[in-house]
Amino acid sequence: MNEKVKSYLDKGKAALGKVSKKIWIIAAVVIVLVAAGLTIFLNSRPYEVLVTGSNKKWHPLMILICLFDAALSLVIMRVILMMMGVQ
């Protein structure tokens, strides 16, 4: 399985290596412009409350849910990297 993934990654690296520097610069500029446009668009929208009527007793639980989500994401990323053979 790792050999297949490595062969696909090598093919992808070879294909990306053939792309000219001018194309990379254009792609970077497009990404920055899209990010700036998205930021301006989202900042112009009115603020909406995500959670209403929450009790103070639920605040630790809401924080724990975010921390659990972050920890789970890190574990999943580590498993993916391990499957790819990246240490």
How many distinct structural domains can be found in the chain?
2
Owning domain of residue 55: 51-87
Cβ neighbourhood burial of 77 (10 Å; 0-12, 13-18, 19+): exposed
Q: Which of 87, 86, 83 is nearest to 2 (CA)?
A: 83
Amino acid 77: pLDDT:
92
Residues 82 and 69 in one domain: yes
Model confidence pLDDT, tens digit, residues 28-87: 999 999 999 999 998 888 877 777 777 777 788 888 999 999 999 999 998 888 888 776
62 phi and psi angles, rounded to 5 deg = -65, -35
Residue 48 in 3-state DSSP?
Answer: coil
Task: Please tell me whether residues 42 and 57 are part of one structural domain.
Answer: no
Q: 7 and 22 share a domain?
A: yes
Q: State both tokens at 38.
A: 């998205």
Residues 14, 32: one domain? yes
Are both 2 and 43 inside the same structural domain? yes
Q: Are residues 33 and 11 in the same domain?
A: yes
Residues 63 and 43 in one domain: no
Please tell me whether residues 40 and 56 are part of one structural domain: no
User: Is the pLDDT confidence value at 1 over 90?
Assistant: no
55 and 35 in a single domain? The answer is: no
